[in-house]
Amino acid sequence: MSDATAHKPTGTDEQAGGISKKGLSAGSVGLIGAIVIGISCIAPAYTFTAAIGPTASAVGLQVPAIILVGFIPMLLVAFGYRELNRSMPDSGTSFTWATRAFGPWIGWLGGWGLIAATILVLSNLAGVAVDFLYLLIAQITGNAGIADLAGNPFINVVTCLAFMAAATAISYRDMQTTQRLQYLLVGFQILVLVVFAVAAFVHVANGTGFDPTPIALEWFNPFAVDSFSAVAAGLSLSIFIFWGWDVTLTMNEETEGSATTPGRAATLTVLIIVGLYLLLSVALISFAGVGTGEYGLGNESIQENVFFHLSHLVLGPFAWLVSLAVLSSSAASLQSTFVSPARTLLAMGHYGAISPKFARVSPRFFTPGYATIVSAVVASAFYAVMRFVSENVLWDTITALGMMICLYYGITAFASVWYFRRTFTRSLRNFVFQLLCPGIGGVILMVLFFTTIIDSMDPAYGSGSSLFGLGLVFVLGMVVLGVGVVLMIVQYARRPAFFRGETLAVAAED
Amino acid sequence: MKILVGYTHTSGGADALRLGTRLAQALDAALEITMVVTGDAGGLRHVRTTAAGWLDEAKASVPSGVAVETSLEFADSAASGILAASRRLGTTLIVVGGRERLGTVANALLHASRVPVAVAPPGHADADPVPLRRVTAAVGLREGAEDVMRAGVLAASRIGAEFRVMSLVSLDARQIGSAAEAEALAAAHADRVRAFVAQVAPDGVQPAVDVPTGRRIEDAVRHADWDPGDLVVVGSSRLASRGRIFLGSTAGKMLRELTVPLVIVPRDTEPTFDDEESTP
Structure confidence by residue, pLDDT tens digits, A283-294: 988 888 777 777
Question: For testing the chain A interface, which of B35, B47, B55, B105 should be mutated: the one with the most A CBs within 10 Å?
Answer: B47
Question: For testing the chain B interface, which of A5, A361, A504 should be mutated: the one with the most B CBs within 10 Å?
Answer: A361
Q: Do A363 and B10 touch (CB under 8 A)?
A: yes
> Alpha carbon of A153 to those of A120, A149, B141, B180: distances in Å?
19, 9, 65, 67
Q: Do A366 and B75 touch (CB under 8 A)?
A: no
Under 8 Å between Cβ of A245 and A43: no
For chain A, say whether B87 makes contact (Cβ under 8 Å): no
Under 8 Å between Cβ of B20 and B32: no
Under 8 Å between Cβ of A77 and A243: no
Which residues of chain B are in CATH 3.40.50.620 domains? 2-126
Bridge-based pairing of strands B117-120 and B93-97 is parallel
pTM of the model: 0.87
CATH code where residue A378 lies? 1.20.1740.10
Residues in A closer than 8 angstroms to B45, CB to CB, are 7, 90-91, 253-254
Q: How far apart are CA A144 and CA B270, in angstroms?
A: 69
Please indicate, yes or no, if residue A19 is contained in any of the structural domains: no
Return the sign of the alpha-carbon dihedral for residues A272, A278, A284, A287: negative
DSSP A92: T
Q: How far apart are CA A325 and CA A193, in angstroms?
A: 8
pLDDT in tens, chain A (510 residues): 333 333 333 333 333 333 333 344 445 677 888 899 899 999 999 888 888 888 888 888 888 888 888 888 888 999 999 899 888 888 899 999 999 999 999 999 999 999 999 998 888 888 888 988 998 888 888 887 888 888 888 999 999 999 999 999 888 887 655 677 888 999 999 999 999 999 999 988 887 777 777 788 888 888 887 777 777 777 777 788 899 888 888 877 766 677 788 888 888 999 999 999 999 999 988 888 777 777 878 778 887 788 888 888 888 888 888 889 998 998 889 888 888 899 999 999 999 999 999 999 999 888 888 999 999 999 999 999 888 888 778 778 878 888 899 999 999 999 999 999 998 888 999 999 999 999 999 999 998 888 888 888 888 887 778 888 888 889 999 999 999 999 999 999 999 999 998 888 888 888
Q: How many CB pairs under 8 A join A and B?
A: 116
Nearest to A359 among B8, B37, B46 (CB): B46
Question: How distant is the Cα of B161 from the closest Cα of chain A, in angstroms?
Answer: 35
Please indicate, yes or no, if residue A351 is contained in any of the structural domains: yes
Please indicate, yes or no, if residue A428 is contained in any of the structural domains: yes
For chain A, say whether B278 makes contact (Cβ under 8 Å): no
Please indicate, yes or no, if residue A184 is contained in any of the structural domains: yes
Q: How far apart are CA A57 and CA A55, in angstroms?
A: 5
Q: Do B38 and A339 touch (CB under 8 A)?
A: no
Q: How far apart are CA B20 and CA B24, in angstroms?
A: 6
Residues in A closer than 8 angstroms to B9, CB to CB, are 363
> Alpha carbon of A133 to those of A44, A240, A327, A441: distances in Å?
17, 22, 6, 37
Return the sign of the alpha-carbon dihedral for residues A135, A139, A141, A142: positive
Please indicate, yes or no, if residue A405 is contained in any of the structural domains: yes
For chain A, say whether B32 makes contact (Cβ under 8 Å): no
Under 8 Å between Cβ of B167 and B211: yes
CATH 3.40.50.300 fits B2-126, yes or no: no
Number of domains observed in the structure of chain A: 1
Which residue range is the domain that position A48 belongs to? 35-499
Residues within 8 A of A (CB atoms), B 119-138 only: none
- ipTM, two decimals, is 0.83
Residues in B closer than 8 angstroms to A12, CB to CB, are 52-53, 56
DSSP strands (E only) in chain B: 2-6, 30-37, 68-74, 93-97, 117-120, 134-138, 162-166, 169-170, 208-210, 213-214, 230-234, 262-264
Bridge-based pairing of strands B30-37 and B68-74 is parallel
Pick one of 3.10.450, 1.10.238, 3.30.450, 3.40.50 as the CATH number of B134-230.
3.40.50
pLDDT tens string A438-464: 999 999 999 888 888 888 888 888 777
- For B59, the closest chain A residue by CA position comes to A14
Bridge-based pairing of strands B134-138 and B208-210 is unpaired
Helix extents (H) in A142-152: none
Question: For testing the chain A interface, which of B5, B7, B45 should be mutated: the one with the most A CBs within 10 Å?
Answer: B45
Residues in A closer than 8 angstroms to B75, CB to CB, are 23, 26
Q: Which of B54, B48, B49 is nearest to B33 (CA)?
A: B54
